């Protein structure tokens, strides 16, 4: 297992970590198998999304914020980051990707994004490559 360090600059941010995950796959030397990306934080997540147009992740952030606003009188969690916990749960803490010929199997426009919902922070993402 390898661990990526991810530094975020804003409260909500999508960081393209595809190259770092690809480097983990290359270092593992696995030709065929699975790559698991896991975020060990309750206010962050990981997703696969389009990388060609930055407006896609902006739209995702916009809609998540519209659906789950930062402040809501119904929130009971005392730390003031209930929205971050909810967004993290919706996106999820892990993604599993295929590895073929020593490379991630991604669509033409797909990338792996670390999703920050309670930044800025210094975060971690674990990457494990399993296979032949």
pLDDT values of the chain reduced to their tens digit, one per residue, 132 residues: 999 999 999 999 999 999 999 999 999 999 999 999 999 999 999 999 999 999 999 999 999 999 999 988 889 998 889 999 999 999 999 999 999 999 999 999 999 999 999 999 999 999 999 998
pLDDT of residue 78: 82
Residues facing residue 98 across a β-bridge:
34
* pTM of the predicted protein model: 0.95
CA dihedral 11, 14, 15, 19 (to 10 degrees): 170
DSSP 3-state percent helix, strand, coil across the chain (nearest 5): 25, 40, 35
Domains belonging to the chain, first-starting first, are 2-131 (2.60.120.460)
CA dihedral 16, 20, 22, 27 (to 10 degrees): -170
């Amino acid at each position: 297992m390898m661990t990526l360090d991810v530094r975020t600059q804003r409260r909500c941010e999508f960081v393209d970590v595809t190259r770092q995950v690809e480097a983990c796959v290359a270092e593992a030397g696995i030709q065929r198998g699975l790559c698991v990306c896991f975020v060990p934080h309750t206010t962050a997540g990981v997703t696969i999304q389009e990388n060609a147009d930055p407006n896609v992740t902006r739209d995702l952030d916009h809609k998540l914020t519209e659906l789950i606003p930062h402040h809501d009188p119904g929130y009971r969690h005392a730390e003031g980051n209930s929205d971050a916990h909810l967004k993290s749960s919706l996106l999820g803490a892990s993604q599993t990707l295929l590895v073929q010929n020593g490379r991630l199997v991604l669509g033409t426009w797909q990338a792996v994004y670390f999703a920050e919902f309670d930044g800025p922070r210094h975060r971690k993402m674990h990457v494990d490559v399993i296979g032949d």
